[in-house]
Structure 1
Amino acid sequence: METKITVTFEGGTRRVLKSRSELNNIDEHQEACFVMNNLQVFHGYCDGEVDDDGDFVVFNTIHGIALPFNRLMGWFYKYSGKKKSKRIK
């Protein structure tokens, strides 16, 4: 059983991280944030593939950055996709 990790960011927003094992199920067309074990956060797009060196690639522009999979704590979609209510008060 995997541990549920919740992170709280500077602005007070809280996110529950998806596990490392779910990286292969990521939607490569949706922007995501990746939290590393040193608490650095990278954001961009990822296809979920881990190469032979144990790295996965995050693209924010044409050029990507290779990050070590073994240092990944978890990830989440940058925009949750939840529709906000437009109720008139």
Structure 2
Amino acid sequence: MAQLPGVHREFVRAAMAAPFLEREEEHQLALRWRDFRDQKALDQLSASHMRLVIALAARFRHYGLPIADVIQEGHVGLLEAAARFDPDR
């Protein structure tokens, strides 16, 4: 992640430090987001999955795209997925 400026490096460190969620905890957060539009629940869900976005973005570092842009697009994808996700399925 040498391409990342300081602010982005801190974001990556914070994302990598976020804990993985247990299945039940993830389900409860998804229900809170769907039923009540609880922003804290969405924040926890997206933070817990950002390490996966960063890992996938790192695979594209040799394609000439700024890694920060790829991470940002991945984050947008997480938020779009949360909007469509049905926790009861």
TM-score (norm 2): 0.22
Between Structure 1 and Structure 2, which shows a larger proportion of helix residues?
A: 2
Between Structure 1 and Structure 2, which shows a larger proportion of strand residues?
A: 1
Higher RCO, 1 vs 2 (CA within 8 Å, ≥6 residues apart): 2
